[in-house]
Amino acid sequence: MSQCKGAITGSAPPGAMPLPFKKGSAQRTRTSKCLTLTSQPIKTELMDTFNTGATGTPPPSETLKASSREVVRKRQADRVHAESLARKEERRVDRARNGTEKSYPRHVKNYIDWWEMDQTRQREEWDRQQLAIIQAKKTAHQEDNLPESDMDLRPEPFIYESPHPITAIKACLFLNYELKRNKRTAGGKKAIPNTTVGVSSIKQTINSLESYRLEHSQDPEYLADPESQIKLRNNVYIQNIEKSAQLSEAKRQEESQEMKSKGIVSATFSTDHLVLMSKDYLLNPQGNKRINIVVPLRNRTMLLFSTSMAFRGDNTRRIKLSDLNVEEVPMPGIDLDCRIKVFNYVTM
């Protein structure tokens, strides 16, 4: 900035005398001749007028800078959103390749269904407790000979908790149920008695809930709950549940093999029932791949073998499922390299 030379006069309304300034009392900038004045209060008044304009709005340069920053931020947000969608699609393709594209939504649906049933049970228990409290109040008032009008008989309302957003505490409650429940059939409609889910199912359940939580972490209801922004496996209770499932897996498999060796399919079936069941395995196979004959043949073989007799010296006993093995048998009559898988059984 350079000082103005010579006598300088301030601007004045029409018909008024201009106000003279002494030499060196003003400074010149790039945009105006004399913006910065050294005398008060004229200096302050003129400076405010030049800096803000007649309407009091920011100068155009500042407005342009703010607009440019908004454009840059929007462009950055669009890039982040596009990259997020690309990662989401990669996860979907990975789930489809690993066979978890259908299992993940199934676990989340099981979680929601169980949560609704659990909330119903909790409400019924809450209502029973409130009824007991009200009855106790009535009894106490009767003993004290007090009128019932003095009593507050309004029950406390039950506070319903939604399954969403998914948090570690809610996931723990569901996983505790998963550890104890029986396995289900292929359609999930019937429970298989004397069975429990394995560690792989527990791990997949955690992965399913974590995947859903991560994909919806920016939803308003999730952003409103800080607990939903924490990874499920960071919770010590979920870590303990996963470790417990791993430690009990060996015992679970041992009990499962013991149940098989006892011949779960026992002699309670008559001959007519066995014939009907063996036909049903071939005529009405389970699963989506009905053209695959291998699975129906395997199931039919397991049924008939478990109800057959095995000679052991001068004694007989039923063939157990643990006696069955799968081996590859060469078929040189077809081809020198041809081998097929067959069931064989060994009795001791």
Single residue among 238, 262, 286 that ends a domain in this structure: 262
As a whole number of Å, the CA-based R_g of the chain is 40
Relative orientation angle of helices 199-215 and 236-247, to the nearest 10 degrees: 150
Residue 37 lies in a domain: no
Q: Which two tokens stand for residue 70?
A: 């908004």
Each residue's pLDDT tens digit in the chain (348 positions)?
A: 444 444 444 444 555 455 454 444 444 444 444 444 444 554 455 455 545 544 555 566 677 677 787 888 888 888 887 887 777 777 777 766 666 677 889 999 999 999 999 999 999 999 999 998 888 888 877 776 766 666 777 888 899 999 999 999 999 999 999 998 888 877 767 887 777 888 888 999 999 999 999 989 989 999 999 999 999 999 999 999 999 888 887 777 777 666 655 544 444 567 787 788 888 887 877 665 555 677 777 778 777 776 665 444 455 556 666 666 778 888 887 778 888 777 676 655
On whether residue 65 sits in a domain, the answer given is no
DSSP secondary structure letter of residue 34:
S
Given this model, what pLDDT does residue 224 score?
A: 93
Q: Does 307 lie in the same domain as 223?
A: no
Q: What is the pLDDT of residue 192?
A: 78
- For residues 238 and 183, state if they share a domain: yes
pTM (predicted TM-score): 0.53
d(CA 255, CA 261): 10
- C-alpha 107/C-alpha 102 separation (Å) is 9
- Same domain membership, residue 240 and residue 301: no
> For residue 344, what are the β-bridge partners?
325
Element (H, E) at 191: strand 191-192
Last residue of a domain, one of 231, 262, 293: 262
**What is the dihedral angle through the alpha carbons of 100, 102, 105, 108, rounded to the nearest 10 degrees?**
-60
Query: 10 lies in a domain?
Result: no
Counted domains in the chain: 2
pLDDT at 36: 46
Separation between Cα atoms, residue 179 and residue 191, nearest integer Å:
14
Tell me, yes or no, whether 162 and 245 share the same domain: yes
Q: For residues 231 and 115, state if they share a domain.
A: yes
What are residue 74's phi and psi, to 5 degrees? -65, -40
Please give the residue range of the domain that contains residue 184: 102-144+158-262
**CA 241/CA 247 separation, integer angstroms:** 10
Rounded-to-integer distance, Cα 186 and Cα 299, Å: 14
Instruction: Give residue 287's pLDDT.
Output: 61
* The pLDDT of residue 29: 47
- Rounded CA separation 279/126 (Å): 51
